[in-house]
Chain A
């Protein structure tokens, strides 16, 4: 029988560091995909999609903020310092969200969809977990994810089966991104502790669920997966593609001019 933890104070020291590790992964993935989404504001192929995509980017950034706030409650730096002051190697996001996809709409959509399926499964697992404040937060956030998934499920078959050109663009996006998507489930030292404490599923279990959900929708969208694709790991331990360095240079530029400035 797994004991329920009503507050963050109920965590013992090793489990607390495992939760901190998990929250950084969740928060960093969410803020970076949100930032990538915001790069389409004003540039998405149609007006309606421009608004929808930007609005979802705001949702993702909002999710990130709640995770950073919880990290702050656990003794980590405040959200602004964390987002604008951290060095490249201190970030824990997966390469899937770090990759730049400017001007590649198919890649941006497929990436967002891959991420949304993963975040939904993560929230579902947390919502059923033993750490009450995190379970409550996950339940709250999953309402917005429902729409993000609906959006992805709407686009995937329409572009996968649209024209020859749209099919090819989507297939290229899947081929490029699938290994990076699998990299989201890179296991960390926190896996066992989180699983034993009943807080969160193991990454390999989440990956199984993700693959099953995504394979189904890709199949229905006439898109193929390279079953031999091997995951791109590294993000969870601070090894990132150059694209993330470029993103952080831009995102942190103003803050770094004067970190003590009041806004």
Chain B
């Protein structure tokens, strides 16, 4: 069956200046300007919004869920995380001793 609907535009809203735009959903529209007008009422009529983006869904290139295993870690990657280092423990220890000497 042919899709008789207008193209899909993905909608991103920003809740406060300086914050990242977050994907909130999509609308059908024949062009970007109309997508923006529609998106305003679909996604900003309840929650705070200071700025709105729309982008044609066709412009997005996505990974395939079948390739999802490439996101998995086959070996220990804790060195990529702050908690993988001893520094936090050292800081804790030094803070404790500071407290002790302040008494």
Contact = CB atoms under 8 A, between A and B. Distances in A.
Contacts of A147: 40-41
Given A151-B37, A158-B34, A48 B29 contact: yes
- Nearest first, the 8 A-B pairs at minimum CB distance are A52-B41, A48-B38, A55-B41, A154-B37, A48-B27, A55-B45, A51-B41, A151-B37
A186 interface: no
A225 interface: no
Looking at chain A's contact residues, is the secondary structure mostly helix, strand, loop, or mixed? helix
Interface string B14-51: 00000000000001111001100110111001000000
A175 interface: no
Interface in A11-62: 46-49, 51-52, 55-56
B42 to A, nearest CB: 6
B98 to A, nearest CB: 54
A158 B28 CA distance: 15
A213 interface: no
A206 B73 CA distance: 69
A26 to B, nearest CB: 23
A55 B41 CA distance: 7
A162 B27 CA distance: 20
A48 B33 contact: no
Contacts of A56: 41
Nearest to A53: B41
A211 to B, nearest CB: 25
A48 B38 CA distance: 6
A120 B90 CA distance: 65
B28 to A, nearest CB: 6
A251 interface: no
Given A48-B41, A52-B38, A55-B41, 13 more contacts: A46-B28, A48-B28, A48-B29, A48-B42, A49-B38, A51-B42, A52-B40, A52-B42, A55-B45, A56-B41, A147-B40, A147-B41, A150-B37
A52 B41 CA distance: 5
Contacts of B38: 48-49, 52
Nearest to A54: B41
B33 A154 contact: yes
Contacts of A52: 37-38, 40-42
Contacts of B45: 51, 55
B70 to A, nearest CB: 36
8 contacts: A51-B42, A52-B37, A52-B41, A55-B45, A56-B41, A147-B40, A151-B37, A158-B30
